Amino acid sequence: MRTWIVIILLLVVGCKSRQAITQAEDTYYTCSMDPQVVEAMPGKCPICKMDLTPVKKSSTGNDGVLALSEQQIMLGNIRVDTIKAGRLGDRMVLTATLNFDQMKAVSVSSRVMGRIEKLYVRNQGDYVRKGMPLFDIYSEELNNAKQEYLLALDKQKTFGESSVVPMDELVRSARNKLLLWGMEESQIRALEQAGKAGSTTTYVSKEQGYVTSLDIREGDYVMEGGTVVRLADLNTLWAEAQVYTSQLADLDRLSTATVELPDLDGKQIQGKISFVNPEINPETRINLIRVSIPNQGLQLKPGMPAYVILKSPARRMLSLPIDAVIRDGQGAKVWIQSASRQFRPVEVKTGQETDDRIEIVSGLREGDVVVLTGAYLLHSEWVFRKGVEMPSTHQH
C-alpha cells in the first residue's frame, strides 16, 4: 500500500515539474523600454533597471499575428486609425537655375564691315533703350554709299526730268541702300541738309534690354553681320531644371509650377512649364524643362539657384503617413490591427508621394485599421521574438 502511495506522489510531482518546464520554455522576459534585452528568468533590466516583462513565445503564432500587452502598446506609442479614401496630389521637386528668356533676347550686329570708333555702352548690365546710340563705325562701303546718294540728289536737281536716265529711280535706289545698311530716316535727312558725308556713322538700337555680353571693343574691326552686343529683356526669366528619365513618367505639362528661391528667403513665384526638351542626353540620361516666371522689380538675376516644385491635380485615393509604411528590399509593408492588441503585417504596393503621405495602390481596403505610429517598433518586436524578418503576407 505504501508503495502505491509513493508512486502516485512521484507521478504528481513529475507532472507539475513538466508543466513548469513547459511554461518556462514558452515564456521569456524582456524590457518594454529596451526590447533587445531578452532573459530566461524574471529580474531587472540591466540598462534601465525596470522589472522585466514576461512574454509568451506563442504570442507570435505561425499565422504572423503579433500579440502585445497593454503596457507594451502604451510604451511603444502605437496608434491606429481607420484608413479612408482622400484626395492627394503628386509633388515633384527639381533643382534649377535662373536663365535669360531666350525668346526675348536679341543680338545687335553690324550691317557693314568697318572699324568701331566709339562704343556708347561699355559694361554688362547696362540698360539700352530703343533709339539709343550704340556705336560709331567707320566704313568705306557706307561712306561710298553716302556719296552716291548725295551725287544722285545733285544730278536730280541739275537735270531734273530732262535727263535720259530716270533720276528719281537712282535717288530712290541709293536711299534704299542706306536704309538697308542701317541708317535711320532722320540720319538720311540730316545728310541731305548737310550736303556732305561724315567719316563715321552712328548706329542706334532698334531693341531694348539689358546688356548680357559685349563682344567687341573700341578700335576693333567688325565683319558684316558680326555681333556687337547682346540684349535681353529681364522682365521674364526661365527657371531651367533637370529631370531624370525615371521621372518623366510622373511629369505633367499641366502641373502647377512653383519656383522657390533660396537666396531670397525661400520666396515662391508661380509660373508655367513653357518647354520640355524632346531629346534626352544619352550619356547623362537627363532631360531639361523650362518654367517661365515674371521678374517683378527685377529682383531676380540670371544664374540664381532655384527649386522647381511641380504639383499635379489632386485625385481620390487611399493614402497613409509615410512613417506607417516599412520599405525594404522585399517591398513595402504596413501593420494592421486584426483583433484587440493583435497586429499582423500586410504587403502593399505604393504609388506617388507628397511631403508626408504616400499613396497605397493595393494591399489595403477602405475601413482597415492601420498602425500609424509604432510600425518600426512592431517590426523590431517581431524580429526579437522570432529572430527572423517579417513574413510576406497578402490581404485578400
Compute, in degrees rounded to 10, the torsion defined by CA atoms 324, 328, 330, 336. Answer: -20
Identify the pLDDT of residue 250: 67
One-character DSSP codes across 28-81? EEE-SS-TT-EESS--B-TTT-PBPEEEEGGGB-TT--EE--HHHHHHTT-EEE
C-alpha cell at 248: 518623366
| Domain 92-101+234-311 bears CATH identifier 2.130.10.10 | no
On whether the CB atoms of residues 55 and 29 are closer than 8 A, the answer is: yes
Q: 250 phi and psi, to 5 degrees?
A: -95, 0
Cβ neighbors of 394 (< 8 A, separation 6 or more) are: 346, 347, 363
Identify the pLDDT of residue 21: 40
Distance of CA 333 to CAs 236, 318, 327, 350, 377, Å?
Answer: 47, 15, 6, 9, 13
* Residues paired with 158 in a beta bridge: none
CA 131 and chain centroid, separation: 41
Identify the pLDDT of residue 138: 92
| Domain 66-88+316-386 bears CATH identifier 3.90.1560.10 | no
Q: 135 phi and psi, to 5 degrees?
A: -160, 155
Cβ neighbors of 68 (< 8 A, separation 6 or more) are: 59, 76, 78, 341, 342, 343, 381
- The domain ranges of the chain are 24-59, 66-88+316-386, 92-101+234-311, 111-225
* Residues paired with 221 in a beta bridge: 115
Identify the pLDDT of residue 366: 82
Identify the pLDDT of residue 307: 92
The residues of the chain scoring below 50 in pLDDT are 6, 10-24, 58, 61-62, 388, 396
Distance of CA 255 to CAs 262, 321, 328, Å?
Answer: 22, 23, 31
pTM assigned to the model: 0.51
Cβ neighbors of 213 (< 8 A, separation 6 or more) are: 124, 229, 230
Identify the pLDDT of residue 69: 77
Identify the pLDDT of residue 340: 82
Q: What percent of the chain has pLDDT over 90?
A: 5
Question: What would you measure as the largest C-alpha separation in the chain, in angstroms?
Answer: 167
Identify the pLDDT of residue 314: 63
Helix (H) or strand (E) segment spanning residue 177:
helix 167-180
